[in-house]
A = this chain, B = another copy of it.
Amino acid sequence: VECLDLVLIGFGNVGRRFARLLAETSSRLERDCDLTWRIVGIATGRHGAVLDPAGIDVGQALRRTENGQRLDTLRHGGPPGDESGPALTPGLDLIRRLDALGGRSRHQVIVETTILDVRHGQPATDHVREALRTGRHVVTANKGPVAFAYAELRDLARSVGREFLFEGAVMDGVPVFNLVRETLPAAEVVGFRGIINSTTNHILTAMEEGREFDAALAEMQRAGIAEADASLDVDGWDAAAKAAALANVLMAGGVTPADVDRTGIARVTGADVRAAVAAGQRLRLIASARREEGRVRASVAPRLIPGTDLLAGLRGMQNGLVLETDVLGEVAIVQLGSGLAQTAYALLSDLVTVRRGL
């Protein structure tokens, strides 16, 4: 049995749900996947950080964070604030302190779940780069690194012989990247189209039923699904980042979110979506990509699709992706349930991939 030492960079909703899922599935991971784990570091945005090469008590870390207490005093490998030089972000700080603690003979995995600036892909991209540079495996639910710097980070990971995995970046735990890598060998993805942003799909389908744009958006914000900055969903930034990630990984697209031809749903009205339904169509925010004249062109835009299209049937927070392949035709993968548990599972499945590759 191989024991992985995990360092959690980010300990918000996703990070904490991941820690709980690890604890819940421990015996299954050991029995089926030959994998045990310890958490040796946690860096949070507002609750400090802790490092302990002997392993951190996960239950205590969860309770402290949820009670608004700091983690620094939980027990750690060095006093807080002992850094000299320019200020570091907590995540980079923790990754850089890891070396001083020893334990490098063990397999270390950085689990990156910080809040992402989707317009710049930071600080996640810096975290991933630093972790790989110093020889750690990386699993992340962040779409930023793969949307903004995929080729660089993939090559860096190869050069140090470490994994860089990001299944949770698109459609949570439903396999997309792993699907293509593991189950579609020798097939070329020549294009894709999908619904990959839950908030906008909820708004569009709620308006079909006569509800108001703002009320539907507010529901998603209350549920913690929509980004606090509504523009990230409504103006298509989140979908554009995911489209860039898909284009980069599945089609060697070499694009960033800024290269994605992007139109949001801010100007879509209830009358628009209901007129589509009346005409046997549906209005959906479709992310797509296609190779044109040697380049990959990706776009995100509200589009009229036939009511018989698989994507037309996806309602509320359901997501779906249709992959066009050369040798297998069209294959679609659909996420019918969505939430924190699914994102946490994506990290878990990536962790198992790290284990398999050892």
Contact = CB atoms under 8 A, between A and B. Distances in A.
A174 interface: yes
Contacts of A182: 178, 182-183
B186 A32 contact: yes
Number of copies: 2
A341 interface: yes
Nearest to A339: B329
Interface residues of A, number: 44
Contact of A345 (B28, B29, B327, B352): B327
Nearest to A171: B331
Chain A interface secondary structure, helix, strand, loop or mixed? Answer: mixed
B33 A186 contact: yes
A349 B185 contact: yes
Contact of A175 (B184, B329, B345): B184
A336 B348 contact: no
Given A330-B337, A332-B333, A349 B315 contact: no
Given A308-B315, A345-B327, A186 B333 contact: no
Nearest to A309: B313
Given A308-B315, A313-B313, 15 more contacts: A25-B327, A28-B186, A173-B327, A174-B328, A179-B183, A182-B182, A182-B183, A184-B349, A185-B348, A186-B349, A187-B345, A310-B314, A310-B336, A332-B336, A333-B334
20 contacts: A21-B327, A25-B186, A33-B186, A173-B327, A173-B328, A183-B183, A184-B349, A185-B348, A187-B345, A187-B349, A310-B314, A310-B334, A322-B336, A328-B337, A329-B337, A329-B342, A331-B333, A331-B336, A332-B335, A332-B336
